[in-house]
Amino acid sequence: MNVCIVGTGYVGLVTAACLSEMGNHVRCVDVSQEVVDTLRAGRIHIFEPGLDELVRRNSAEGRLMFTTSLAEGLAGAEFAFICVGTPSGSDGVCDLCYVDAVAEQIGRAMSAPLIVVNKSTVPVGTADRVRAILGRELAARKAGIEFDVVSNPEFLKEGDAVKDFMKPTASSWAPRTPRARRCSRPCTRPLPAAARSSSSWACAARR
């Protein structure tokens, strides 16, 4: 599968490296030129055991690349993972401005059917919010491009993130449409059966 990761911080880089290790072709987009330059140079800007080796090997073998251009990242992508920060304010409410901005940018840049996967930590209802933003941006362009939004919150622990991703004890992948569920299978198939069976397949229940 061809995958675009938007936000190459902790969660985005682990997701990108592990999906490329599973054989997917992954393009990572980050607004920070410094982050992209560091990763292109084969250096890792976060500490996580085993991650540098995965990034180096998959970059060298052409399955992993880094860019600041969302259009370049989305070229040929079937999936776009939103992995940007959602900082909590003093009231404990998480700020969705980065998620909203990425949804807007994807809506303006996408040129082919796409499954948008939200990996950031967000409140219930955010998939509908992202869906509305994408729909609004596509309508503004009069672009009738199909898309789906899937919630796939990340549970990895810093220090064990690669292991947690590759051998999860639980994961949640909540596609809303049969198409999103069908298309997602190749992306999740390499995960162990135990993790797949504990996924929340909300598709059938909602339609």
Ligand X SMILES: NC(=O)c1ccc[n+]([C@@H]2O[C@H](COP(=O)([O-])OP(=O)(O)OC[C@H]3O[C@@H](n4cnc5c(N)ncnc54)[C@H](O)[C@@H]3O)[C@@H](O)[C@H]2O)c1
Residues of this chain that interact with ligand X (CB under 6 A) are 6-12, 29-32, 35, 83-86, 98, 101-102, 105, 120-121, 154, 156, 158
Rounded to whole angstroms, what are the CA distances from 16 to 22, 105, 125?
10, 20, 25
* CB closer to ligand X out of 10 and 147: 10
The nearest distance, CB 10 to ligand X, in angstroms, is 4
Smallest distance from ligand X to CB 204, Å: 27
Query: What are the DSSP calls for 123-162, one per residue?
Result: -TTHHHHHHHHHHHHHHHTT----EEEEE------TTSHH
Which structure tokens are listed for 21? 């290790």
Minimum distance, C-beta of residue 113 to ligand X, in the bound complex (Å): 21
Least distance to ligand X from the beta carbon of 58, Å? Answer: 18
Give the residue at shortest CB distance from ligand X.
Answer: 9
The span from the CA of 59 to the CA of 103, in Å, is: 27
In the complex with ligand X, the residue whose CB is nearer, 12 or 107, is: 12
